[in-house]
Amino acid sequence: MKILLIEPRTPETFWSMRHALRFVGKRAANPPLGLITVAGMLPREWPCRLVDLNCSSLSDADINWADWVFVSGMEIHRGSVAEVVRRCHALGKKVIGGGPLFTPDPQNSVGVDHVVVGEAEELIGDLVADLVSGNPRSLYEAPRFPDLSHSPIPRWDLLNLSRYATLSVQSCRGCPFDCEFCDVVALNGHKPRYKSPQQFVAELESLRVLGWRGPVFVVDDNFIGDIRRCRELLHAVIAWRQRTRARMVFVTEASVNMAAHPALLDLMVTAGFKKVFLGLETPNAESLRECRKVQNLRQNLVESVHIIQAAGLEVMGGFIVGFDSDEPDIFQRQFDFIQNAGVVTAMVGLLQAMPRSRLYQRLSQEGRLRDVGHGDNTLGFFNFETRLDSKFLEENYRKLMLRLYEPANYYRRILTFLDAHRMSGPRERLNWRDIGAVLRSFWVMGIATKGRRAYWRFVTTTLVRHPNQIGVAFTLVIMGHHFRRVAAGL
C-alpha cells in the first residue's frame, strides 16, 4: 500500500518566519511532526512519500504514485488543504484527513473522503486493516486520549532535514489549565500525558545519529504541565547530553508559573533549553480573570519574565487584545508591558473564538459569533461582536504591531532583554551559514531598509555592553526583520 503524506502550505504568519528563513537558506521553520509520526505507525513495508508544500511543490506524478493520500492541517491551512483535495480528486485519488482542522466539525472537512478525529495511536490499527480490505469508514474517532507510550519515533527519513531551520519533537500532550479562549484541553485533554524519559531521549538520539546539530522545538502544550514528570525528563536529557556530547538546543512552550520554580529553571537551562514561549496575554488583571488565566495572577508578570530571563531563558510571549474587560488604554498598556519586560518576540493578536473552546460556546450562547474563526489571530479582525468598537480595536491593533516592531523600539527591547539575560547552559556554535546571515543583515537592515541608523547604533551598543551575546542579538535582529514585514502587511 503506497501512502502519500502531504503537509499543506502555511500562509505568511507571525510564526512562518518566511522573511527570516531567507537569511539562513532554509525553506521552512519546522517539519510536519504530526505526519511523520503517523507515518511511523503505518506498516513498515508500506512505501511512504512526504511532500511538504512549504518546501517543495506537489506534482501529478506524486499523486498518481499513491494508493492513498493522507493530509493534515489546522484551521489556518483550510485553503491549502482544499486545493490539495481538489487536485487529488481530479486524478481519482481518495484523501484521508486528520488533525485539528478536521476535529471540530468532522462532517464539513473540506471535501476529504475519510476523516480521522483525535489522536491516531489507538485507532491506526483499524484504519490500516480497513485500507487493506479496501473498505475504509468515512469517520474514525479516537476512543480516548491515548497513552503516549504507543507513539513511535517519527519517520525522519521521509524529510530532507537540511530544509528546516528547527526540528520538532514532543514530550507530552495536554495542559492542566483551562483558559477560556484555548482549545487545547478539548483537543488533548486536561491532564498532561508524558512520554517516558527513555522514550523521549530515544527520539533525541535518533536526531543526533542523523547528524542534527541545530535547535529542536519541543512542541508540548505545556512542557511543565506536570512538574514532577518534567523534572524526571530533564534529568534524563541532561544525562544523555553528558553521555553523547549532543550539541542541539531546545525551545518549548510552557506557563509563566515556571518562574516560581528556580530549581526547575536551572534544570531546563542545563538540559539545553534556550527559549520558552509563554502565554502572557495581557497586563490587565481583570481580563486575566475573565479568561480564567489564573496562573498569570499569582505574581507580578514583569518580575516573572525577568526571573526566567535571569535564569538563562529567552521569553517569547503571546499577547491578546479584545477581551470584554479591556479598556481603550489597553494598547498603550500592552506596549509598555512588552517593552519593560524585554519580551523581544511578542506575538500580539486579536482575541479569536475557536471551535471547541469555552469562549466559542459562551459567545454562541450570547449570540455574538460572526463566524467559526480563521485560525490566525494576527489577521486583524474579530470573529465575534466585541464590547469595545471592533473598528477601534482593529485599527489600534495594527498601530500597536507597527510600533512594537519599529526598529528603534524593537532594538531597545532586545537590549532590555540582554541586560536581564544570563548566558548559561550549553552554547550554540556559529557556523558559516550563521556568519552569512549576519553579513546579509549588514546589507538588508544596515543599508537597504529604513531603520539603518538604529541598527548600527544597536550593533555598536551590543558589542560594548554584551559582547558574549552577540550571536543571540543577531538572531533576534533577523527575526525582527520578519516580524516587521508581517506587521507592515496587517
Question: Could you tell me if residue 484 is inside a domain?
Answer: yes
Last residue of a domain, one of 141, 170, 195: 141
Question: Could you tell me if residue 43 is inside a domain?
Answer: yes
Banded pLDDT at 105 (limits 50, 70, 90): low
Question: How far is C-alpha 12 from the geometric centre of its chain's CA atoms?
Answer: 14
Q: Which residue has the cell 479584545?
A: 322
Q: Which amino acid is at 386?
A: T
Is the pLDDT confidence value at 104 over 70? no
3-state secondary structure 141-177: ECCCCCCHHHCCCCCHHHCCHHHECCEEECCEECCCC
Using CA atoms, how far apart are residues 218 and 222, in angstroms rounded to an integer? 10
Fill in the DSSP letter of residue 296. G
Q: CA 251 → CA 125, 154, 168, 274, 379, distances in Å? A: 33, 18, 9, 6, 25
Using DSSP bridges, classify how beta strands 68-72 and 167-169 pair: parallel, antiparallel or unpaired. unpaired
CB 240 within 8 A of CB 204: yes
The two most distant CA atoms of the chain are separated, in Å, by 69
Question: Could you tell me if residue 350 is inside a domain?
Answer: no
Question: Could you tell me if residue 446 is inside a domain?
Answer: yes
Question: Could you tell me if residue 66 is inside a domain?
Answer: yes
Q: Taking residues 126-143, what's their average pLDDT?
A: 95
Banded pLDDT at 373 (limits 50, 70, 90): low
Give percent above pLDDT 90 in the chain. Answer: 89
Q: What is the pLDDT of residues 43-72, one digit of tens each?
A: 999 999 999 999 999 999 999 999 999 999
Banded pLDDT at 231 (limits 50, 70, 90): very high
pLDDT of the residue at 107: 57
pLDDT of the residue at 372: 72
User: DSSP letters of 188-222?
Assistant: H-SS-EE--HHHHHHHHHHHHHTT--S-EEE--S-
pLDDT of the residue at 102: 87
Last residue of a domain, one of 141, 159, 187: 141
Cell of 330: 489597553
Helix, strand, or coil (residue 314)? strand
CB 356 within 8 A of CB 186: yes
Which domain covers residue 469, as residue numbers? Answer: 432-488
What element of type H or E holds 109? none
Question: Could you tell me if residue 244 is inside a domain?
Answer: no
Banded pLDDT at 108 (limits 50, 70, 90): low
Question: Could you tell me if residue 371 is inside a domain?
Answer: no
Q: What is the pLDDT of residues 417-427, one digit of tens each?
A: 999 999 999 98
Q: Taking residues 67-86, what's their average pLDDT?
A: 95
Using CA atoms, how far apart are residues 302 and 340, in angstroms rounded to an integer? 7
Banded pLDDT at 109 (limits 50, 70, 90): low
Neighbours of 428 (CB within 10 A): 18
pLDDT of the residue at 42: 98
Neighbours of 391 (CB within 10 A): 10
Using CA atoms, how far apart are residues 105 and 187, in angstroms rounded to an integer? 13
Last residue of a domain, one of 141, 171, 199: 141
Is the pLDDT confidence value at 431 over 90? no
CB 326 within 8 A of CB 392: no
Question: Could you tell me if residue 103 is inside a domain?
Answer: yes
Q: Which amino acid is at 35?
A: L
Using CA atoms, how far apart are residues 28 and 53, in angstroms rounded to an integer? 10
> What CATH code is carried by the domain that includes residue 35?
3.40.50.280
What element of type H or E holds 178? none
Neighbours of 149 (CB within 10 A): 11
CB 163 within 8 A of CB 27: yes
Banded pLDDT at 490 (limits 50, 70, 90): confident
Q: What is the pLDDT of residues 447-463, one digit of tens each?
A: 999 999 999 999 999 99
Q: What is the residue-averaged pLDDT of the chain?
A: 95
Using CA atoms, how far apart are residues 355 and 121, in angstroms rounded to an integer? 23
Counting the structural domains of the chain, the total is 2
In terms of Cβ atoms closer than 10 Å to its own Cβ (0-12, 13-18, 19+), residue 464 is exposed
pLDDT of the residue at 355: 85
Using CA atoms, how far apart are residues 256 and 53, in angstroms rounded to an integer? 34
Is the pLDDT confidence value at 329 over 70? yes
Helix, strand, or coil (residue 254)? strand
